[in-house]
Amino acid sequence: MNVLFLCTGNSCRSILGEATFNHLAPPGWKALSAGSRPTGQVHPRSLALLAREGISTEGCHSKSWDELPITPDIVITVCASAAGETCPAYLGPVLRTHWGVDDPAHATGSDAEIDAAFLHAYRRLRARIEAFLALPLAELQNDRTHLKVELDRIGTLLP
* Catalytic positions: 7, 79, 87
Q: List Cβ neighbours of 40 (8 Å cut-off, separation of 6 or more).
A: 62
Beta bridge partners of 33: 5
CA-to-CA separations, 5 to 53, 113, 133, 151, in angstroms, rounded = 19, 25, 15, 13
| Pairwise CA distance, residues 64 & 30, whole Å | 18
